[in-house]
Amino acid sequence: MSRFTGDSVERVKGASDVVEVISAYTDLRRAGARFTGLCPFHDERTPSFSVDPQEKLYHCFGCGVGGDVIKFVEEKEGLSFPDAVEALADRYGVELERDQEDPRAEEARRKRARLAELLERTAAFYAGFLRDAPQATKARKYLADRGLSADALAEFGVGCAPGPWDTILLRGQGAGYSVAEIEAAGLVLRSQKGTGHYDRFRSRIVFPIRDARGRVQGFGARALRPDQKPKYVNSPEGELYRKRATLYGIDRARAAIARNGRALVVEGYTDVIACHQAGIRDAVAVMGTAITPEQVKLLSGYAEEAVLALDADRAGREAMLRAQGVAGGKRLRLRVARMPAGKDPADLLAGGDGGAATGFREAIEAAEELSVFHARTLLDDADLASPAGRDRALDEVVEVIAAMPDSISREELLREVADRLDADPGLVSRRVAGAGRGGTRRGAPRPADSEPGAPEEGEGEGAAGAPGDGEAPPPLSAREGRELALLAMCVGSPTDGRDFLDRLTDEHFHSPTAARARAWLRNHLDDPMQGLPREDAALVAYVTQVVMRSEREPAGAEAMELNFLWLELGRDDDRISAARAEGGAPPVELQRHRAELTERIARTSS
């Protein structure tokens, strides 16, 4: 696998504006030499997120996440380290150099790069054909009738495929691509007789499908004539395009999704474009009725909540119910916006009906919990005219309610079910309890406001390790706080710091992460962030916090000595406790040394 040279990675970090990158996900305000804001990794009301624009670092004093600008892009955009480096290099115009790589891996990378370039060229041709060609008049009229403006179509690169069977085939060959490459990009098909190839997309409106970085992965195409079958055609699954892992419009919507903490999920391409045109910038499409685990994972990297605005027909309702199972265990709260029968977002937003557009926005804001939608759907479809039908409905509904966390929504739903079934509320409650619920079930979504509160910066809480899923770490003990403070002082005053790092041992540390950080700093004190092992998320977060704290931690030799003495005292206490646990008395010399430390701490503190 190829790797970028260290110099290349450093140039990318140097050119990147960490404040600009992070500002796409949360509002930052200057606070002295730094910027602060609400953490984009966990729910909080008091800002505990800090960004250092000079060192290109970030750290949250609430949930403990931290790292450099590359790490931020990795975490928020779900990219691998190489992809994050490439994304920043593209954004800031940095040329990357690679270490020598295996010839086969290099050839595979070059093949993917040529396919990606071919797709970009083809997307540009389709867009120009829609904009300018007389043959695209019918496509332009259809899109205009849907209320979509030329600017909105241009923003999403919407195009039109010409009618002849070999336009793209000939253009690709003329640009130096082989027929095999054009076929691998999904742009042509082999004839049934196997004697030639022809364009996959002909006489169709074409929608480029891009990844989160805006790179064309494939196309979706809609028929222009009623007799064209099927109505929609997609690029085939291939080296670049994977439908299950793609969301249409994610490249345009990801910043708004991260800022709002919410994604609006619709079905089709024109739905997304209509939403964005109307100022609803967090809309993406699943390109069908089913949402996949890969798409849920992609969304959960940007937001805590997704609102499903799918068709109101039975297929759309069933798709939303399936989403409940798909999202199980993912920290993504799902809600449902009830759509008018026979109408989609493009109809409501782009049809010139102001009332319908207002109604659509109100439906989004009034979206109900997916569990509530599920229960109401079961009741709507049930035979409530007979006792037997109501019993069957109750059997199904109690399973849904039992999986819900304790909340006001759950209590209100219990009352609603009892009312619609004309049943005693106590009976419904007993049936739910009997379904096996003894607290929040595994995989049940957590209420949005049940996240632990985050402390303000400076209250003594921080990352003793990297927390999972944005949860706040436990408060630091006094000893862990001194460990963090002394390491920060060593970074802030490296001349004295080297001596203390040599004097410290693993026994001085209660936190294993702090002990690993001390070992790292001994060899990387001049540039602690350079070369950090990214697979060790806890170490990255801890060292980031040390570096950012080093600017405000007093770094005089006396303060460093005092913290060191306290850690020495902690080490002696550990040894004394270990001796007593083994049933013996602590060595006299150890007890004497502890007493001397206590006196020295008292003298140094006075």
**Does the structure show a pLDDT above 50 at 473?**
yes
Cα 451 to Cα 39, 41, 48, 304, 320: the distances in Å are 13, 12, 14, 12, 26
pLDDT of residue 476: 74
The confidence band for 437, taking pLDDT boundaries of 50, 70 and 90, is very low
Among 61-75, 145-159, 258-272, 316-330, which range has the highest average pLDDT?
145-159
pLDDT tens string 82-135 = 888 988 998 888 888 887 766 777 788 789 889 999 999 999 999 999 999 999
Q: Angle of helix 81-92 relative to helix 69-77, nearest 10 degrees?
A: 110
pLDDT of residue 313: 60
pLDDT of residue 1: 45
Higher model confidence: residue 71 or residue 103? Answer: 71
pLDDT of residue 453: 31
- Max distance between CA atoms of the chain, in angstroms, equals 98
pLDDT tens string 3-31 = 788 888 888 988 999 999 998 888 899 98
The tokens 């030499």 sit on which residue?
Answer: 33
**Does the structure show a pLDDT above 50 at 154?**
yes
Task: For residue 428, give the H/E element and its range.
Answer: helix 425-434
Q: Which of 66-80, 148-162, 204-218, 300-314 has the lowest mean pLDDT?
A: 300-314
Over residues 35-55, the mean pLDDT reads 88
Phi then psi for residue 532, to 5 deg, are -55, 135
pLDDT of residue 450: 33
Secondary structure (DSSP) of 145-180:
HTT--HHHHHHTT-EEE-SSTTHHHHHHHHTT--HH
pLDDT of residue 445: 38
pLDDT of residue 164: 94
pLDDT of residue 492: 87
Q: Which of 120-124, 138-142, 455-459, 491-495 has the lowest mean pLDDT?
A: 455-459
